[in-house]
Structure 1
Amino acid sequence: MSAVQAPDRVTDAASAWPRGGDHPDDELAAGFVAGDENCLEAVYHRWGALVYTLACRSLGDAREAEDVTQTVFLAAWRGRSGFAPQRGALGAWLVGITRRKIADALSARTRRAELVAAAGTRLALEPAGRQEQPEAVLDRVVLTGELCKLPHAQRRVLTLAFYDDLTQAQIAELTGWPLGTVKSHARRGLLRLARCLEADAVRG
């Protein structure tokens, strides 16, 4: 699993927080809330495996669990001012965020399944005079099916762009991801979609 990226830049844990070390949880929490990016790295190495394991068990998909793990720590970093030590330990707070992100991932999975079902049944539900050409419906079903095969982050960006008609800036605001990250996911997702659709065309 790769190291978590801070919102603005990636840092190596080269200061007082090497790989989490033996520092007490309250010290790590204090540094984390104060915005020490090296402390973020240490927090990731102390609790990242727990977050990943919870996500993997719930989702049953290692790649999606990795995406959720990254999302959890990015969300925690951006929302660190909301952590209140008197309400519980930092680890428990991270677990709470993890459960919410897992729920989001499961909801997104359900929505993707519904999109596939809707695309496949739309032709049968429309009046004969208003039905789309079969080729158009097939194209949409194929596209939706290929979207479902993409990694979670790429899939989410392209789904928001295709079905919700959002700009990359709007997607960045909605997801909390840096604009550059959104653009990167969109580019990689589109390239992968193009390769898959070209392969389908050759097989057809």
Structure 2
Amino acid sequence: MTPFAPKHMDRSSETTTPGPSTSGAPDVSDINGVLRRDQAALSRIYDRLGGAVFGMCRQVLCDDGLAQDVAQEVFLRLWNEPKRFDAERGPLRSFLLREARSRSIEKVRSEEARSQRETRSELRERPIAPNAESDALQSLTSDAVRGALLQLPEVERSAIVLAYYGGHSYREVATLLGTPEGTIKSRIRSGLSKLSSLLTIDGLEVEP
């Protein structure tokens, strides 16, 4: 929870380009206030720079809700770690815009990673959809087949199990294993060829 109540403002005309600073006195005065845990000082900073920070976040995130969340995080971090700002290195506006851009980029990466995790989870939880090929392999669930599978390289065995026993398409297997689809196809072909040879030796046959 932020230590102040941000005011609603019309941010449609905000710019994220740092303008010339006529004086650093308000920055230093308000940061000193934040150091003293003066909430009014943080509110003044927000009133002065909140729109520009939000504008930078929205420019990167292209989403008002996420931009508002990240902007709040920027000011909350300023409240918790005011000593990170050094007036000798530039105005507070520039410092906060850099923070806003950096945290927005982190948010984009976080959202992308979350989306990929959800996609992989959905694929793993998808019910098995048998087809003719998987039926053929599943009919050979003998000790010989299991033993032959265990003799395959792990990368080939994983691809075959997901494709034929799990009922996943080549593309889905590629997503689950984080490997290009063409590589998955090659591994499955190679693995099935080896599996066929191993099972033929044991008196069974499987078509690669």
TM-score (norm 2): 0.48
Q: In terms of Rg, which structure is larger?
A: 2
TM-score (norm 1): 0.49
